[in-house]
Amino acid sequence: MNVGECYLGWSTKDEVREKGASGGLVTSVLAAALEKGLVEKVLVLKKISEYDAEPIITDSVDEVLESAGSLHAVPVGLSKKLGLQLTRLGKKIATVGKPCDVRGMYEMALRDQINIDNTYIVGLNCGGTMPPILTRKMLREVYEIDPEEVVEEEIAKGELIFKTKDGKEIAKKIDELEEMGYGRRENCRYCFVKIPTNADLACGNWGVPKAKQGQATFVEVCSEKGIELLENAVNAGYIELESASEKGINARKKVEQAMIDLASKWREELLPSIPDEERLSFYIKELEDCIGCGACKTVCPVCACGDDSKCTTMISELDNHKISLYHLIRFLHIMDSCVACGMCTDVCPAEIKMSQLQARFSLPFQEEKEYVAGMTLEKPPFFEVR
């Protein structure tokens, strides 16, 4: 096996294959890594409902096996959990993650918050996550089903499909849902990293041939650690693999490009340029409801300054203007390293679209510097550890 090779793979365990999003390969790779001692702990999501899940760090193979399945309405950030709780203790860990999670992990590694050498990362392709509360509303009002009746959701061929307890399957076009204000979170619509090739393995359903859809995962080997993970799972009898076809590889590239093109369109729509003379008033207006709770900083994977941060310690009696120094400092401080995960928007009690405001600085800046935050251990243009 070599870095850069692509495979189709699936779990050998019936119940994991059944429960898994597309064949249960990811769950099986993580479980095998734990069982065979490649790692001491695994970070996965413990499902509470279709709209809620808890990130857990576990050494139980059974708990890992129970995590199978994709939760599209759970926009959880996994990098901060990993950094805060584990790798600094020196444990070897395997984790799952969407592209923004993996990018957050790299940015945290650059700030000594995660030991990437001890971390095996199984990346998931990602078309986007949905806000849980709005998704429930959409289910009631557009799909006309009780959200509690949903047992599974799937995104396929531009449609968002919900399956209910009584076996019903209802599909609607994502484009149309998003025009109505539902669908993916706004930052996901202009997210440009769709396949996490910075992880050790990049897994997804794009490129899986029709006959195997839902039963196999397309996996790209992205590093030596990725080879270790896959070979360990094959040797432990957890997964089976076959080489991906050229047709599958090309189909995956094509969908990725279509998603990136779509992201460009959404970027224009959601982040229209503001005339110079209106900029200050725009930011004052957008930020006027801020209550200064600091949640947007706490949740951010690229914030590592801790209690001595410039953004919080420089707030003083001088900071009496409606546009707080806290925000101005943060906009500039992390514009080279924001990974556009959207967590700051999700947690804001004042419903300020922080991620979108940050993107107005981060996207053009990172473009100008030809730097995509969180893809490698290359330092961001304005890097400082603290």
Burial of 133 (0-12, 13-18, 19+ CB in 10 A): exposed
Residues 6+ apart with CB under 8 A from 162: 139, 143, 145, 150, 152, 153, 169, 170
**Cβ proximity to ligand SF4, 170 vs 295, nearer residue:** 295
Residues numbered 69 to 98 that lie near ligand SF4 (CB under 6 A) are 75, 98
Kindly state whether residue 191 participates in binding ligand SF4, applying the rule CB under 6 A. yes
Compute how many other C-beta atoms are within 10 angstroms of the C-beta atom of residue 332.
Answer: 14
Compute how many other C-beta atoms are within 10 angstroms of the C-beta atom of residue 91.
Answer: 16
**Cβ proximity to ligand SF4, 295 vs 328, nearer residue:** 295
Kindly state whether residue 241 participates in binding ligand FAD, applying the rule CB under 6 A. no
Rg of the chain in Å (alpha carbons): 21
Burial of 179 (0-12, 13-18, 19+ CB in 10 A): exposed
By a kind-dependent CB cut-off of 5 to 8 A, residue 380 interacts, out of ligand FAD, ligand SF4, none, with: none
Q: Name the packing angle between helices 279-287 and 354-368 (round to 10°).
A: 140
Kindly state whether residue 25 participates in binding ligand FAD, applying the rule CB under 6 A. yes
Helices (runs of H) and strands (runs of E) counted in the chain: 16, 11
Q: Using CB under 6 A, which of 293, 314, 377, 385 touches ligand SF4?
A: 293
DSSP 240: E
Kindly state whether residue 233 participates in binding ligand FAD, applying the rule CB under 6 A. no
Name the minimum Å distance from CB 108 to ligand FAD. Answer: 16
Could you list the beta-strand ranges (E) of 263-352.
none
**Cβ proximity to ligand FAD, 41 vs 72, nearer residue:** 72
Find the part of the chain contacting ligand SF4 (CB under 6 A) among 5-13, 122-130, 133-141, 164-172. 122-130
CB 124 within 8 A of CB 97: yes
- Provide the mask over 311-350, with x wherever binding to ligand SF4 is found by CB under 6 A and - wherever it is not: -----------------------x---xxxxxxx--xxxx
Find the part of the chain contacting ligand SF4 (CB under 6 A) among 33-41, 275-283, 297-305, 314-322. 297-305
Kindly state whether residue 122 participates in binding ligand SF4, applying the rule CB under 6 A. no
Kindly state whether residue 31 participates in binding ligand SF4, applying the rule CB under 6 A. no
Could you list the beta-strand ranges (E) of 143-263.
150-156, 159-164, 169-173, 201-204, 217-221, 239-243
**Cβ proximity to ligand FAD, 132 vs 380, nearer residue:** 132
**Residues contributing to the site for ligand SF4 (CB under 6 A):** 75, 98-100, 126, 128-129, 187-188, 191, 290-296, 299-302, 334, 338-344, 347-350, 352, 354-355, 358
